[in-house]
């Protein structure tokens, strides 16, 4: 069990409710598409940002309920570095939560990937913060993509676009530790997922390559995501961390290497099950009809089993 101090950010009513309505409606549609969670405008206005201290310099900002992604914050004498920013309607509360950790501007904002529920708040931070991301995040934001086949009507404002991009890794020497931002070599949940490893604190933010909601991952196939790539990247994460590492998933509670290993095992086993049937000449529909054995079919807290089978099937090279 992780022992965490919890503080809630002060809630306040936000203005511009009509402006927010369109964003919220489109968010609801995509949330339904992505993870089966339908959020109404009222649901989103009820999201609270809870602040948990994970080390001397690293905090977890947890949206409750988990419609936006988990945020990691490094705060200390060098300043503030933040990972992910959820959705635009939640950014006032996020700023309040970060200020409750440490006052001052957010120097660096890292996007774990391009999806609207992780990088959707970029425009609210980009004037003050240097946005850092894998190069493909910039590409996807410039093509107005929000997730999969969902696109924005309008371009993102210039301040939402990452300024500093990279294709492999970048390291921050910040608040007394190395903070490694690592592309693990395979397209995965998307085509530009990174993990952020706070080395001294022994905290890793996995982005959505790991979603801790008792289910299978979502694979963004339209941008070249891959179930087998995700499996291999999770394997690489497991090789980097130890039993004391605090593992912050894209959504859901902070957990341990043991849980990440169980997630890997489940993904690897179900990919094997689908692959064997595909190699035996079964159609996707037949494999979906057969389904997964009971020990694997009970994990339905995120994607449905037929969707996971379809995403695995599409990821396997013929």
CA distance 82 to 236: 23
Q: Nearer Cβ to Zn ion, position 51 or 303?
A: 303
Q: In whole angstroms, how close is the CB of 295 to Zn ion at the nearest point?
A: 26
CA distance 86 to 305: 26
CB atoms within 10 A of CB 16: 9
Q: Nearer Cβ to Zn ion, position 197 or 302?
A: 302
191 makes contact with Zn ion (CB under 5 A): no
Q: In whole angstroms, how close is the CB of 67 to Zn ion at the nearest point?
A: 12
Q: Nearer Cβ to Zn ion, position 251 or 278?
A: 251
Binding mask 122-141 for Zn ion (x = CB under 5 A): --------------------
Q: How far does CA 295 lie from the centroid of its chain?
A: 26
Range in contact with Zn ion (rule: CB under 5 A) among 156-164, 200-208, 251-259, 270-278: 200-208
Q: In whole angstroms, how close is the CB of 126 to Zn ion at the nearest point?
A: 20
Q: Would you say the C-alpha torsion 33, 154, 48, 25 has a positive or negative sign? A: negative
Q: Nearer Cβ to Zn ion, position 93 or 208?
A: 208
Q: In whole angstroms, how close is the CB of 312 to Zn ion at the nearest point?
A: 17
CA distance 166 to 197: 16
Closest CA to 58 of 238, 265, 254: 254
CA distance 26 to 194: 26
115 makes contact with Zn ion (CB under 5 A): yes
CA distance 1 to 9: 24
Give the binding-site size for Zn ion (rule: CB under 5 A): 2
Q: Nearer Cβ to Zn ion, position 258 or 314?
A: 314
Range in contact with Zn ion (rule: CB under 5 A) among 42-50, 101-109, 204-212, 306-314: 204-212
User: Which pair of tokens denotes residue 83?
Assistant: 């990972």
Residue 164 region by backbone torsions, left for phi larger than 0, else alpha for psi between -120 and 50, else beta:
beta
**Interacting residue with Zn ion among 93, 177, 191, 208 (CB under 5 A):** 208
Q: Nearer Cβ to Zn ion, position 80 or 230?
A: 230
Q: Nearer Cβ to Zn ion, position 85 or 208?
A: 208
Range in contact with Zn ion (rule: CB under 5 A) among 24-32, 60-68, 203-211, 221-229: 203-211
Closest CA to 119 of 105, 136, 103: 136
Beta strands per DSSP E along 10-143: 48-53, 58-64, 71-76, 79-83, 106-110, 130-134
Would you tell me which residues interact with Zn ion (CB under 5 A)? 115, 208
């Amino acid at each position: 069990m992780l022992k965490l101090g919890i503080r809630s950010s002060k809630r306040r009513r936000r203005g511009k409710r009509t402006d927010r309505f369109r964003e919220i409606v489109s968010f609801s549609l995509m949330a339904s598409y992505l993870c089966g969670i339908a959020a109404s405008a009222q649901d989103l206005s009820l999201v609270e940002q809870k602040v948990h201290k994970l080390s001397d310099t690293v905090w977890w900002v947890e949206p409750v309920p988990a419609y936006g992604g988990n945020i990691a914050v490094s705060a200390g004498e060098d300043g503030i570095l933040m990972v992910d920013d959820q959705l635009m309607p939640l950014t006032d509360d996020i700023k309040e939560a970060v200020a409750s950790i440490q006052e001052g501007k957010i120097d660096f904002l890292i996007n774990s990937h391009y999806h609207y529920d992780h990088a959707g708040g970029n425009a609210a931070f980009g004037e003050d913060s240097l946005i850092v991301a894998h190069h493909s995040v910039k590409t996807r934001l410039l093509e107005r993509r929000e997730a999969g086949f969902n696109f924005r009507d309008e371009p993102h404002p210039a301040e939402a676009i990452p300024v500093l991009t990279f294709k492999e890794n970048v390291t921050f020497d910040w608040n007394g530790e190395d903070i490694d931002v690592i592309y693990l070599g395979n397209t995965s949940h998307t085509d530009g997922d990174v993990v952020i490893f706070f080395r001294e604190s022994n905290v890793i933010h996995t982005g959505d390559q790991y979603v801790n909601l008792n289910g299978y991952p979502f694979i963004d196939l339209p941008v070249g995501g891959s179930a087998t790539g995700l499996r291999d990247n999770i394997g690489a994460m497991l090789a980097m961390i130890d039993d004391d590492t605090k593992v912050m998933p894209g959504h859901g509670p902070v957990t341990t290497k043991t849980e990440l290993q169980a997630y890997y095992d489940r993904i690897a086993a179900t990919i094997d099950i689908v692959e064997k049937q595909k190699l035996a000449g079964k159609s996707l529909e037949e494999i979906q009809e057969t389904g997964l054995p009971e020990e694997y079919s009970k994990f339905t807290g995120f994607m449905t089993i037929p969707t996971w089978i379809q995403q695995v099937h599409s990821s396997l090279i013929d």
